[in-house]
Amino acid sequence: MRFIVRKGTLPSFALKFKKVDIIHLQPDDWNDYGFVTGFTATLYPKKKVDESIEIGFVKILKEFQKSGTNTLNLLKEDDLLEFEKLPEEYYSLGHGEDFYQVLMECGDELVMKYSEAMNDVYIDPEIGHRFENDNNEGFEASLLRSSAAAAMYAPNSLKMLDKKYEDLIKDPCFSASIKMDGADKPHDITFDFENVDDLPSRVFVLVGKNGVGKTQLLGELAFLISGGAKSESLEKSKVYDGNSISSRGIFQNVIAFSFSAFDDFEIPLEAENLRTSYRYWGLRDENNKLLTTEKLTNRIYSVARGLPKGRREIFAKYLEYIAPNLNLSNITGRGGKNVIKEKTSAGQRMMLATLTGLVSFLKDRSILLFDEPETHLHPSMLANLMSVINGLLEEFNSYAVVTTHSPIVLQQVPSRYVRVVRRQENTPEIDELSIETFGENITEISQEVFDVSDYERDYKDIFINLLSEHSPEEIISMFDNRLGISARTLLHSLNRRGAKN
């Protein structure tokens, strides 16, 4: 096996008479806080003259490599633009599970040759242990920056030796410390997805009033777990700004969802998607412009149409929850765009967009970060959407952190997986609930969680004023006899109090 480091394509003479497998390492400009270490690896098998196999994105570092250096320049200095084996002071790691899946499909012999030649820290963790220390800043900042790469190495990391990694990914638990603009101290939250007595445990919910920082919190969380969506040249300490997260490597994939025009999620460029384990799916495009209805429809159509067979079957299964009047062939057929546009409501299109994105992006051990899923949805649609989300998380062995203002969301989540985000002036607070939200009455949830009792005064005052001149029966008739039982009970109660006074 021979490795050739070269920008652009390989010349034909380098491939025509090859007697060994050749792997072309094409340098990439992706920047990990000053470390430029990435290469796209393409295999040219020796037995197949005209065939090439793109393995994927791989990072190569040298011992003691400092921020501000480019691995390509180090390889040039060490006369390694062509090599059969990297010297022992170099080490590498492929970008996630897909990289090694492609390698394994090429056969065990090739995998072993590759790993020995590239000093691969996933296949040979002892190599990684030599470099996993404070003298090699690039190990964490670059090699393990993406959650996909961190997840590959995590089971063998020195940091995990005192933890049971299998238990950690079975019942994920991690803590985040995130300081918001203007806050006196960080928000410190533990996200514990431990399954207790088979309760639904894959969705963790953050609730709170507007302005307490839930959306910003979710945006920072996406950055901390994924390692960021964009190529950055800033110093790592400035980017993280004191924020931290425990147990990186639990999740392979981060998916940020929002159908608000004001979310705080990063939006990667299309070219950057291949370098990260982060995906954004929402109403903004890569230029931060809002999608038109036509563009949203086109996105649903093209992504659904491109799903592989297994995922198409999953899409069809959950489509019944969202648009029972449609089937997969309606949406992915030749006239699919018109079907989506003409036979679905605005709310159904949002749900279709959610389903399409989730089925496309979810993989084993993903984490979904969904900012206010109730946006644009009728309450009955929201209940269906939460059922779809829970079902898909089970399908793909994944988890979600959701922010919401909706008691309907909380009705479907046990309170042990809910935290209330509050802010007393500049001091953040994270509180547990005193009631069980799962299956609870919406009125009780609203009063306990969202503190709506103050706002009840508006309609109570109107009832009191009306009762000064009308009987309860007359007031009920003003509403065409359609007042609900809670309103009628309150009306008669206020009337009795007035009579006593």
Predicted pLDDT of residue 145: 92
Which of 282, 317, 277, 323 shows the shortest CA–CA distance to 299? Answer: 282
Q: Is the pLDDT of residue 166 over 90?
A: no
Shared domain for 368 and 472, answered yes or no, is no
Looking at residue 157, its pLDDT comes to: 85
Q: Is residue 151 part of a domain?
A: no
Weakest mean pLDDT among 257-261, 427-431, 456-460, 476-480: 456-460
Same domain, 443 and 466: no
185's tokens: 């101290």
Q: How many domains does the chain have?
A: 3
Question: Is the pLDDT reported for residue 38 higher than 90?
Answer: yes
Residue 387 covered by a domain: yes
* pLDDT exceeds cutoff 80 at 268: no
Task: Let me know if residue 264 belongs to a domain.
Answer: yes
Domain boundary among 429, 449, 469: 449
Same domain, 195 and 98: no
pLDDT at 78: 96
Average pLDDT (206-230) is 84
458 and 445 share a domain? Answer: no
Mean pLDDT, rounded, for 222-234: 77
* Same domain assignment for residues 434 and 466: no
**How many CB atoms are located within 10 Å of the residue 12 CB?**
7
Residues 390 and 146 sit within 8 Å (Cβ to Cβ): no
Q: What is the pLDDT of residue 238?
A: 62
Which pLDDT value is given to residue 232?
67
- Give yes or no: residues 248 and 126 share one domain: no
pLDDT value at residue 305: 93
pTM of the model: 0.86
- Name the residue with higher pLDDT: 89 or 178: 89
Element (H, E) at 62: strand 53-62
Q: What is the pLDDT of residues 188-213, one digit of tens each?
A: 999 999 988 888 999 999 998 877 77
**pLDDT of 500 higher than 60:** no
The Cα 278–Cα 368 span in angstroms is: 10
- Shared domain for 112 and 12, answered yes or no, is yes
CATH of the domain at 219: 3.40.50
Q: Are 384 and 266 found together in one domain? A: yes
- On whether residue 438 sits in a domain, the answer given is yes
- Whether residue 353 is contained in a domain is answered as no
Q: Which of 36-40, 98-102, 284-288 has the lowest mean pLDDT?
A: 284-288
What's the pLDDT score for residue 366?
95
Q: Residue 454's pLDDT is what?
A: 52
pLDDT value of position 236? 61
**Whether residues 444 and 466 fall in one domain:** no
The SS3 assignment for 32 reads strand
| Predicted local distance difference test score (pLDDT) of residue 156 | 85
Higher pLDDT, 234 or 366: 366
Of the candidates 410, 430, 449, which is a domain's last residue? 449
Per-residue pLDDT at 2: 93
Claim to verify: residue 437 and residue 382 sit in the same structural domain? yes
| Top-confidence residue, 370 or 260 | 370
pLDDT at residue 88, as a whole number: 96
Of 127, 143, 159, at which residue does a domain stop?
143
Q: Amino acid letter at 373?
A: P
Per the structure, the complete domain to which residue 25 belongs is given by 2-143
Residues 400 and 477 in one domain: no
Residue 86 CA to residue 19 CA, distance in Å, equals: 20
In a domain, 60, yes or no: yes
* Same-domain status, 490 and 441: no
The reply to whether 314 falls in a domain is no
**In-domain check, residue 474:** yes
pLDDT at 239: 60
